[in-house]
Every structure is written in structure tokens, then in C-alpha cells.
């Protein structure tokens, strides 16, 4: 579980970089500050949420594997979002011929 949390922490910065590149590539200039704020806030929000939820789940179940599965669900959700970003980037690149 500690290794998984470490990997989530490292990958959060990568996702922020990808989000910022996509924002600057496909967004009107007046919306860039709002979207940059959202792109940097959301990964930290999910990491904080995972850190808060895991102890609560352990206290409720008294089983060590349940917080692990809750953390994994959050990581899987983040992975799905990253895959969707890649898909949207390819789709927009083809549409705009960039």
C-alpha cells in the first residue's frame, strides 16, 4: 500500500503536466487560468481524500485489506481519467490537424 501511495504521488505531477499541455493547446486564453487551477487542484484533492478515507474505512472494518481496496479504486479512477485525456487529445488533434 505504501508503494502504491508513492506511485500515486509521483504520477500526480505527471498528470498535472499533461493537463497543462492539453489546456494550453486546446483552450481559449480567457479560460486558461480557471482550468490550470482545476488541473492542479483535482489530483491533490483525490490524494487528500484517499488519505482521509483510508483510516475511516480501517476503523469501520478492522481489516487491513479494505483501505487498500478503497485506495486502489481511487487510483483506478485516476488511471481512467488519464486514459480519457489521451483519447481526447488524439481526437482533438485529428479534428484540428495539429
DSSP the chain: -HHHHHHHHHHHHHHHHHHHHHHHHHS-GGGHHHHHHHHHHHHHHHHHHHHHHHHHHHHHH--SHHHHHHHHHHHHHHHHHHHHHHHHHHHHHHHHT-
What pLDDT is attached to residue 13? 66
pLDDT 10s per residue in the chain (98 long)?
Answer: 566 666 666 666 677 777 777 788 778 888 888 888 887 787 778 778 878 888 898 899 998 888 888 878 877 887 787 788 778 878 877 887 76
What pLDDT is attached to residue 69? 86
Total domains, the chain: 1
**The pTM is what?**
0.61
What pLDDT is attached to residue 59? 92
Domain extent for 73: 2-96
Amino acid at each position: 500500500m505504501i508503494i502504491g501511495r508513492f506511485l500515486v504521488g509521483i504520477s500526480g505531477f505527471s498528470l498535472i503536466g499533461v493537463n497543462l499541455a492539453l489546456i494550453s493547446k486546446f483552450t481559449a486564453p480567457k479560460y486558461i487560468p480557471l482550468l490550470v487551477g482545476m488541473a492542479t487542484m483535482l489530483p491533490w484533492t483525490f490524494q487528500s481524500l484517499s488519505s482521509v478515507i483510508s483510516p475511516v474505512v480501517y476503523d469501520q472494518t478492522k481489516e487491513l485489506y479494505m483501505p487498500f481496496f478503497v485506495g486502489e479504486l481511487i487510483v483506478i479512477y485516476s488511471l481512467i481519467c488519464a486514459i480519457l485525456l489521451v483519447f481526447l487529445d488524439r481526437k482533438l488533434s485529428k479534428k484540428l490537424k495539429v
